[in-house]
Amino acid sequence: MMTERDTETVHEAYSFVCLHCGHGWEEEYEIRHTPDAGGRRHAEYFCHGRRVPSPLTHTDCPGCTRGPIRILRPGRVKGMQAYLG
């Protein structure tokens, strides 16, 4: 039986840019790592309190709903927006 103690939670941020329309955005995720019955660890991603697909495997551009999407280090979009003023 799995307990809360078996769950490891980490927080990660990602920056994204759409290579189709140029839209850039950043999101923070809560990632919960839990073991299954066989002891293998699985990750569940949460954004703004709701479960979402992994941003590493599935992301839609909120600007054009197309892509492809490039994932960047956290802070890259905000840093560029500050630079461009």
Distance between CA atoms of 45 and 32, rounded to whole angstroms? 7
- Bigger pLDDT: 76 or 3? 76
pTM to 2 decimal places: 0.72
* Residue entry with tokens 């839990």: 34
Per-residue model confidence (pLDDT) at position 59: 79
Span 4-47, pLDDT tens digits: 567 899 999 999 999 899 899 999 999 999 998 888 889 999 99
Contact call for residues 13 and 29 (beta carbons, < 8 A):
yes
- How far lies 36's CA from each of 1, 19, 33, 39, 44, in Å? 10, 37, 10, 5, 12
| Lowest mean pLDDT segment, chosen from 2-6, 51-55, 58-62, 74-78 | 2-6
Per-residue model confidence (pLDDT) at position 58: 77
Q: Letter for the amino acid at 67?
A: G
Mean pLDDT value of segment 49-75: 89
* Residue entry with tokens 């290579």: 19
